[in-house]
Amino acid sequence: MKWLSHLKTINHHKWLVMKYCFKLGLYKQGLLHDLSKYGPTEFLVGAKYYQGDRSPNNAEREDKGYTSAWLHHKGRNKHHLEYWIDYDLEKNCMSGCKMPVKYVVEMFCDRIAASRNYNGDKYTDRFPLDYYNKGKSKYLLHEESAALLEKLLTMLAEEGEEKTFEYIKREILTKEVRRERI
């Protein structure tokens, strides 16, 4: 019944992200968040490699050397920094493109939800920042997008969820940002 446990995990994650996005007025993003996880390309792999305390993508990666589910997922979900990696003609290499602010905010919500999902009762508002810091040296994330994400994760760790969400609503998500079409 690993498939049922996996379904519960992704449902809980999706519900958390939706709740956070709704708090911030990002209703469409909240509703559409991670819908690709329910399709067979991602769901069947997720169920096969489900463990409950970490992403099934890591287990598939260990088994095969890559993860078909992640390759599918990152190409369809704009809140992932990997969606925004492209070839930079000036630098002559792969590089992170500047992400629209609303997707950086959704990524922030996604990181909180994932940390809550995998850490359960042990979760603190510091977990998303600590997880980000472990891998940030390897990310191809545009410097402005990285600065915003780090600012929000640091604020969450130091001042808590309530203050951070109020700041995002008041200072980050302007009417123009909410209406951006991308």
Q: What is the pTM of this model?
A: 0.93
Q: What is the pLDDT of residues 18-39, one digit of tens each?
A: 999 999 999 999 999 999 999 9
Q: Where are the domains positioned within the chain?
A: 2-179
What integer best gives the mean pLDDT of the chain? 95
Chain-centroid distance of CA 162 in Å reads: 19
Tokens (6 digits) for 81 = 């920094």
Q: What is the pLDDT of residues 127-172, one digit of tens each?
A: 999 999 999 999 999 999 999 999 999 999 999 999 999 999 999 9
Neighbour-count burial for 103-138, b at 16+ CB within 10 Å, e otherwise? bbbbbbbbbbbbbbbbeeeeeebebbbebbeeeeee
What is the DSSP code string of 124-161?
Answer: -TTHHHHHHHHHGGG----HHHHHHHHHHHHHHHHH-H
Q: Which helix (H) or strand (E) holds 14?
A: helix 2-23
pLDDT at 26: 95
Residue, of 175 and 148, whose pLDDT is higher: 148
pLDDT at residue 177 above 90? no
